[in-house]
Structure 1
Amino acid sequence: MNRLAAHLTHFSSLAHSAARDFIQDEDGVTVVEIILVLVVLISLVVIFRKQLTNIVKDILDRAARDARGV
């Protein structure tokens, strides 16, 4: 029984250590990085709005033409 208790205590301390390390980990993607990526993407869309609109219209026109042929 003492051996089981020792293993449980050891496992508990390992779990506690792993949880503490997970909470203190700063290697993940932060909110600031996500916001910066969104700002860049939105800026690109605004800059190339005309070209993107033309591409989407062309794709939709092609899809409509192909659909009529079926």
Structure 2
Amino acid sequence: MRTYFMARAHGPSGQSEQGASSVEYGLLIAGIAALIVLSVFMFGGAVADLFDGSCETMNASTHTGSC
């Protein structure tokens, strides 16, 4: 029984693949982080302008000083 679990843990080649899956998860997280950073740089200015415009609209309709 122990031999079966050892064979399952080490795969068909006899080597553990635990480090390989850790590297794959790391690459996946790095890719997602890069997409988030790219999205912020691409759409950050447009979103900021959208919020500034809504703030100005609210100030004009409520006659308050600032946002």
CA distance in 2 between counterparts of 1:27 and 1:3 reads 39
Determine which structure has the larger helix proportion and give its number: 1
Larger CA Rg, structure 1 vs 2 = 1
Q: Letter of the aligned partner of 2:54 in structure 1?
A: V
The unaligned stretches of length 5 or more in structure 1 are 50-70
Shift in alpha-carbon separation, 1:27–1:2, aligned structure 2, 3 A? farther
1:44 to 61, 64, 67: 61
Larger relative contact order (CA 8 Å, sep ≥ 6): 2
Q: How many residues align?
A: 46
Aligned to 1:24: 38
Task: Flag structure 2 segments of 5+ consecutive residues without an equivalent.
Answer: 1-14
- What is the CA-CA distance between 1:27 and the residue it aligns to? 5.2
Identity of aligned residues (%): 9
Give the aligned CA root-mean-square deviation in angstroms: 2.1
Structure 2: distance between partners of 1:5 and 1:16: 17
